[in-house]
Every structure is written in structure tokens, then in C-alpha cells.
Structure 1
């Protein structure tokens, strides 16, 4: 197979042709600054608000609760830092989990250095938050709970509705990093009692460098970027009009295709998982077997090293990942895999494959055959595997 098989859609997706087409006029034809008063520019303000409406409809939110940002990491930073500052008089305790994206974990560390306390909850072997431990962690000075909607590495979908109910019961704000989930699974912010939600365009066939933060009306949150009156004075800076058009178009596309796309991805995902687990021994599926994103498959292969596996896959024209794209240069094992209880030596042999709706059974078959060969080759070079097999023969 000569073409590249791209199975790293959790890292980024290709921008859909209709999204590019919708964006192009706003680079060269309708390039006015939306804050300008003349009609040539004010039309762009109307287009921005149309995209706000498209996104709000997907969430069951009001359009004026959608604030455009530069992406998921900015949205996560805004949700935590600005909430911490706004509610500091009530308390300085925040609850999150050990499997969050580093945009949350590193922001938590930043706040800890400034006098805040952060509780990082454990998860079970499938990556699920334990609701009793979450509720037990709540203190009189707790101001915020932040739990991701679905994990970016192992695909586990968290019990968001139940977490929202706990937050509501205790009068706490609830933020969720939905970067991997928005556009992949249905989300209703009112049903789940979500107060803030982060999302990013390039995870759903939109452009990079654009995202949004949903902020429920009435939430007291400070401005994150100062300098202008954009985004109702909460996020200064000239609006990224082409990016916003692209995000809105991608969101509408995702909403229209979600059911059919998820059905196809689940079918291909389960076929991939079944073949890998059946045909490659000493392999483990990471994440919840059912409560997982439609396109996510994460495996650990014993006795091999993930980086070598990725290099060999790349040589075979297959793009995969050993974890989050934001930590791809790190030699440390995934913090998510460590949190679900995998030992270092197994966590190091992990592979994340994330599909899209274009994947075919023929391509899955090719990937599995390549994996079988590569894993076998790497294990045959491993002294640990040799020792293990000798013990098995005794």
C-alpha cells in the first residue's frame, strides 16, 4: 500500500474541503476588521455571530455564552486561571484528575505556585473518575471541578452528567475539557450541568489556531486577554475571522454527520481492536471497552518500546502516536497510562490509533498485518522477551 494511512486524528484532523472553501473569501475578499463601523467590515461581525449560533446549537447553549479563543489550551487556561482569580475570596481549592491534558495539569501547577490547592483525583483501571472519591474531595473552600469529557489518549468517556450533578449539589462550578469529545459525541451543557467547556477546531476537521470556551451566563469569570472590547470585553484581540468561519463550518459539518460517522468509526475501531487482541499475543487494550470515543484504540504491547514501533510504522506509511501530541518529544511514559496502573515497562510500549470516517477495512487489515510483523521483529530483538519465553517453555 503506497499511500499514507493517517491514524492520528486525536492529534489533529485534516481540514475538510468545504471548511477551506468557506474560509477563503475572508482572507482576500471580506478582510475587514469586525470592530470597524463601516459596512464592509461590520458584515464580518454578523458572520462571526452566525458561527456562534451554530456552535451554541450543538451544545444546547445560548450564542452569547460562546467565546472564541485560539484553541483548547487557551480555553483550558482561561477557565482555570480566571475562575481561580474571580472566586479567590470564596476559596482556593480546585479538583481535577491525574489524566487531564497538560493544559489543565500544568495550569494547576501554575496555580499551586500562587497559593491555590489542587486535588488530582485517581481513576480506575479503565480511566474512569470514581464519583465517591470526587465527592469526598470537596471541601468548604472548593471553587471548581475540572474533569475532561473524554480522554485524549485512551478515549475513555467520563461520567460527565453525574459529575455535573455533584458539582451542582455542592454549589460548585464545573468545567470540562471537551476538546476530544466536541463533534464526536452529543453534548448538552444543560443536561450535564456544565458551566464551562473547552473545544478546538482542528480536532473536528476545522482549522488550527481557533477554539472556543463556553461560559454559562452568570458565571463570574475574569477577562483572560486585555486590550480591547472583543468577545464582550472578555477576550481582547482582533477576531480571527477566517478561523471562526472555519470552526463554525466544521462544527455544523460534525453535527450533520455525527451519527453516521460514529457508526462507521465504531465498526472499524472494533474490527481493529478485535484483530489486534486476537492476533498479537501479550497485548492489552487501554481505556474503557465500551465507554470510549468512537475512533479511539489504544494498545500496550509487552516487551517492546513505543518509539521504535512508531518509527517502523512510519516506514510502512502508517501514522500513529504513543500518547498526546503535546508530549510526543518526551521520553517519560504517558501520565495517563501510569494513572490507570500500567507499570513503566508496559506503558512504554503503547500505541494510540485514532480513526476517521474515511478509513477502510482494507486499510485496517494492512495496519494489523504490519503491526504483527513489526511487534514480532521488535520482540525478537528484546532480551526481556527472550527471557520471558524461556520461562514459558519450562
Structure 2
């Protein structure tokens, strides 16, 4: 019955383009920057990734919801995307260890989803015209009303969103008796990053985005970690100041995604908003130090300026995105600092990039033994 009685739904892009679909049963209207992810699996990890906060996700895979949900397959405690657009939404699911349906999961968190959309045409349009704000509506609002509401939504460029997803109070992960202590700045950190550090004998204290360097240093950490997260890195003045002080004190530091961009800004390297961004689990990256390729998971709409980075005397590129030549990793020649633009904890390779966590530990060891 759901397939024949579902309410009509609308996707309206900021340039006035309209796509039609059907509601999965949750009424409402939601806004965000429309983007697409090319991953064939892992939709629950995508939906709960804090880096996607403020974005309407278009799934390129034809079927979403077919294997239900599992309480362990999350990267945060709630859904982070603003809404979902897909071709076929599976109300029925099949997986031995599923704990429920994606439909019920969405209903619990009131996540608006529209299906039966021509996602091939939509993705092609976004690829040609760039990421832009959009609205999806399932409650019968008129096009004119949606246009008026959409015009008030701020653009992603210049938008600070880390404060929306960061922890409100410090917390600990791992065993207190672990060999290494890590101070992690939460700009939208994923749970699997913390798991990867913990299983490498680390005790991690996770700090809110607006923490000071001095507060983090009081934990007496062996190393610092700057996390992934949503939004534009430019407005993160506090995080950039923390990065500058970490570098000034030559503390070991590892940055992923937004943390990578913050480290670049701390070195005076500008970032820029990409036309579409990279979002998927099959992005090819070249490690220019080893000459080896990696299959990576990526989720970012901003990037580090390659030309400025190549001119910087104290920085060098370590990884490049093979498809478009954008910076995928860097390190400092004179500091114990490195970072990547992709997500090694997501394991799409599956283990192509896990060495980066080991590299971080080795960097800490080298400082401890000095």
C-alpha cells in the first residue's frame, strides 16, 4: 500500500530547478546544501557522519534501506544529514544482524526522505552546475512558498558548523592505563576514528570545539588529534589558534579532513569551496612518498589550495587525489605534523590507509624517546 498511496514530494534547487518524487511517510520541509555520495554500501555510516551536517544527501545507489539498520553501524549518536533523496527506498529489509528498518530509524529522528526521484538526472545536474542549497518538502507547500523560504538559507561558504555537532563537555575513550594519551579536538569526530586510536593503546580525551590549547595541554597528552567535521574551515578561529600553538610547541599532531584544512590555515595556506566536493568510498589517492595508490573514503566540500602549499617552504604534499589532482595529504618538514583529506578509519580499501594511525603512533614514540 505504501507504494501506491504515498504523498507527492518536491526537491527544489536554489536556481529554481525542480525534481519530483514521493514521501516515505514523514511530513515536513527541510533545507541544506544538496550533495551526492557514490558509495554502494554504508548508508547508515553516511547518515550519521557529523561531516554531513547541514546537507541534503542524494544517494546514487539505486536501493537505500535494503539491509536495514544496526545500532553498531553509526558514526555519531544521531542522524546528521538534513534530508535524503533516493531512487528506491526499501521498506522491507534483509540482514541477519539488523536491529530494525531504515523507515523506523528515520521516523524516530524525523528525518525527511523523498524517493522515486530520477537521481541519475539529478546527480548529472549537480555535477554540471555545482553544489547548491536546496529544499525537500513532503507536506504540500507551494513552489512559491518554498522559494521564499529557501532564499533565506545561508550558503555553506563561510558557514561555521562545527559548534553544531561538537561535544558539549569533554569525555574519555579507551583504557586509562593505555600507553599513549591523545587530546582530540572534536569538530565533528567520527566514532570509528576513536576506535582506531583506542585499539592502538591510546587513551583519548575528546574536547569541545571551543576548547583552548591550554586546556588540552593540561591533560598532558603525548599527541594531539584534529578531527573531521562539517562546514567551512575559515571561521574556525579557535581551532586554527590551537593548531598554531600545537605547531609552535612542536607537539605531535594528526589531522583528518576538516582537521587537515585547519592545519593548512594555521600555516597560512588558504582553503576554497569545491565545485562539487568528494563524497564516496572509491576515491583513488596516490601516496607520492611511497608511490602506492590507495582506495579511500572521502567526504568534503572544501579543499586546501595546492599552488600555495607547493610554494610553502616548510610543507610538502604527501598524497594527491588521482582524479583531479587536489591535495589529499600533507606534512611539515620541520614539525611532527601530518594530515589527510580523506578518512582512513572508514576502511574502503579496506586497509589501504590504516597505516596512517600507525604513523601517528610512531611519531609520538619518536618524541617520547627523545
Whether these two folds match at TM > 0.5 is: no
Q: With the length of structure 1 as denominator, give the TM-score of the two structures.
A: 0.27
Q: With the length of structure 2 as denominator, give the TM-score of the two structures.
A: 0.29
RCO comparison, higher one (Cα < 8 Å, 6+): 1
Question: Highest Rg: 1 or 2?
Answer: 1
